[in-house]
Amino acid sequence: MATRILVLEGDGIGPEITAATLAVLRAADAKFGLGLAFEHADIGWTAHKACGTTFPDAVETQAKAADGVLLGPVSHNDYPPRAQGGLNPSGELRKRLDLYANIRPARSREGFPPRCGKSVDLVVVRENTEGFYADRSMHVGPGELMPTPDLALAIRKITRQGSTRIAEAAFKLAMQRPRRKVTCVHKSNVLRVSDGLYLECTRAVAAKYPQVAYEERIIDAMAALLVRDASQFDVVVTTNMYGDILSDEASEISGSLGLAASLNHGDAHGVAQAQHGSAPDIAGKNVANPASLIGSAAMLLAWLGERRGDDKLTRSAAAIEAALDRVIATPDGRTPDLGGKLGTDAFGARVAQTLG
């Protein structure tokens, strides 16, 4: 069965780390006979220059038709206003494809110790379609407004559906992991209504999974506990903004944000996306670390394999992760951000060779 992947390179270091990732995917395709077929489309500044928008409508159509999407980082903070075509491709994909779950693992690698304390192996399950994010709070218009020059307001949206389905995703994931533990992060002591609803929904889902250990942590305490000992956590489920912040913290603690893979998925679509940004300051210098996007691509293959019951996709994902581990374990197999000297393309080639 053919697997169609839509490739969106993005901005900054996006084209470089995407090329390295494709080298690894092609090696996996050759080894496991996955039948991968790559289709390319422009987003970001390239698309804006060509057609006046950073996210053409045709890309949405292509993404929905593909089996999965490989998304490079984008420089959306530098884009012009929406009225001038400056749409955030990442946010648009999450909304239009209903990618409600953002799965962000943070795992220590052999030979590359964590920055704080003990070995880390946790996953942040982040709600992806509502919360504090202004571009996801309203049907029409942004969730921020400024009635006067001296007053700015932001709207936070929490729904029963959104809270329940992200909790379900977290507990289903926990059932697949040895420790079977879920930590729910919230701030219901202050945000009693919105986080109160989220907490109510999460507790209701927890009651359906007696095999999973369940605990709750307030967001500020959770941030401190991660620094103290992140090894105590397994699956961490939380709302959008909290999850964005905690996952970056956890990834840096476990080793480096350059290793931080990420998968956005809903019930029908999946998008592999590195957890970090587009790093325009090092774009074109062949020094960016592609490990995060390579790991994200592996997560996409694993997600597709689970959905289809396809053992080849599942095994290829595990093989890519194992190849990443073997390369990173040796000092001469690391990019500059990890203290090594390997270039972006050479790192991709090394992982592809190790996989093959």
Residues 6+ away with beta carbon under 8 Å from 42? 8, 9, 50, 56, 59
Q: Cβ distance 134 to 240 under 8 Å?
A: no
**Could you say which of 78, 220, 229, 311 is catalytic?**
220
Among the listed residues 112, 143, 114, the one whose alpha carbon sits nearest the alpha carbon of residue 130: 143
**Could you say which of 79, 100, 133, 209 is catalytic?**
133
**Could you say which of 29, 135, 187, 198 is catalytic?**
187
Pairing label, strands 263-265, 144-148: unpaired
- At residue 17, the 3 state secondary structure works out as helix
- At residue 290, the 3 state secondary structure works out as coil
Q: Say which amino acid occupies 60.
A: E
**Could you say which of 29, 67, 135, 244 is catalytic?**
244
Q: Is 244 a catalytic residue?
A: yes
Q: Is 150 a catalytic residue?
A: no
Q: Is 220 a catalytic residue?
A: yes
Round to whole Å and give the CA distance between 301 and 290.
Answer: 17
**Could you say which of 248, 310, 337, 345 is catalytic?**
248
Q: Cβ distance 287 to 146 under 8 Å?
A: no
Round to whole Å and give the CA distance between 205 and 32.
Answer: 37
Round to whole Å and give the CA distance between 316 and 322.
Answer: 10
CA angle 154, 160, 161 (to 5 degrees): 105
What does the DSSP 8-state code read for residue 256? Answer: -
Q: Is 325 a catalytic residue?
A: no
Q: Is 11 a catalytic residue?
A: no
Q: Which residues are identified as catalytic?
A: 133, 187, 220, 244, 248
